[in-house]
């Protein structure tokens, strides 16, 4: 990476939900979901942090499922909860080089996975009633939060979580 001018930022956005409830989740579902949702971000940080330029930034993408049991996949919910701890640890280790690490925590976002999450409900519109802003967010709204945390405007923010969920986690 250094031959190309260095690495200034790292954004880690992965996620898969496997299994249905405790009874319908196999140990293999658990291992596979945690390997992608938590081990992959760990590996990205482990190998990305040394390559980052001093003053760089890492942004992980989590989920409101990490704040509360929000899906039918215990592995997904648990792995997204683990990102909070990983973010704080990366912030601590990166601090000596002014490398910031933060977590963006989307709620229901209009993506294929977000549409799938709300498709099982009787009415997609009715499922938005529990969101104070009354709608799913957009990928652009999540991207704006990421861009902010990567920017110099967030130069004194590290180890934090920015929830982008239309108020869903507030109610």
Euclidean distance between CA atoms 67 and 83, whole angstroms: 11
Task: Calculate the alpha carbon distances from 99 to 24, 37, 60, 89, 144 in Å.
Answer: 41, 22, 14, 12, 20
Q: Residue with structure tokens 């009633």?
A: 129
**Cβ(101)–Cβ(57) under 8 Å?**
yes
3-state secondary structure 81-150: HHHHHHHHHHHHHHHHHCCEEEEEEECCECCHHHHHHHHCCCCHHHHHHHCCCCCCECHHHHHHHHHHHH
* Active-site residue set: 76
Element (H, E) at 154: none
Euclidean distance between CA atoms 71 and 76, whole angstroms: 8
Element (H, E) at 75: helix 74-94
């Amino acid at each position: 990476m250094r031959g190309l001018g260095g690495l200034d930022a790292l954004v880690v956005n992965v996620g898969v939900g496997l299994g249905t409830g405790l009874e319908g989740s196999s140990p293999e579902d658990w291992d596979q979901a945690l390997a992608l949702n938590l081990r992959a971000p760990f590996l990205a940080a482990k190998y990305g942090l040394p390559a980052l330029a001093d003053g760089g930034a890492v942004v992980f993408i989590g989920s409101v499922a990490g704040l509360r049991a929000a899906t039918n996949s215990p592995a997904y919910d648990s792995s997204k909860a683990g990102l909070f701890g990983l973010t704080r640890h990366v912030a601590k280790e990166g601090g000596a080089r002014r490398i910031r690490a933060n977590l963006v925590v989307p709620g229901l976002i209009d993506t294929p996975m977000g549409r799938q999450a709300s498709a099982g409900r009787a009415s997609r519109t009715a499922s938005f009633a529990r969101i104070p802003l009354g709608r799913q967010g957009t990928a652009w709204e999540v991207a704006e939060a990421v861009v902010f945390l990567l920017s110099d405007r967030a130069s004194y923010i590290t180890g934090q979580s920015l929830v982008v969920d239309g108020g869903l986690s507030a109610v």
